[in-house]
Amino acid sequence: MQGEGIGSWLIKQIEAVAREKRLKSLSLETAEIISDLLRLYTRHGFKEVQRDLPEHGDDEYLRVHMSNLL
């Protein structure tokens, strides 16, 4: 269902709940290899904080840690 706006809708819902709870920011991590998600999160104001290997060590794909201010 990529391209249907479901991801954007979900992010907006999560942001609304976070604002109701008076949170100041949201953070997430995703695999570097999933460039579509990186673009989606960037469009919604998330900024890259760091990149590193996953803690579990089960794969070699870098994780991108992102955060946004509400």
**Structural domain includes residue 1:** no
Q: Give the CATH number, domain containing residue 18.
A: 3.40.630.30
Please state, in angstroms and rounded to a whole number, the distance separating the CA atoms of residues 27 and 67: 4
Total tally of structural domains belonging to the chain: 1
pTM for the model: 0.87
Nearest 10 degrees: Cα torsion 16, 44, 11, 40: 180
Its domain, for residue 32, covers 6-69
3-state SS class at 22:
coil
Q: Which amino acid is at 22?
A: R
Write out pLDDT tens, residues 8-67: 999 999 999 999 999 999 999 999 999 999 999 999 999 999 999 998 888 889 999 999
Sheet of strand 47-52: strand arrangement: 25-31, 63-69, 47-52
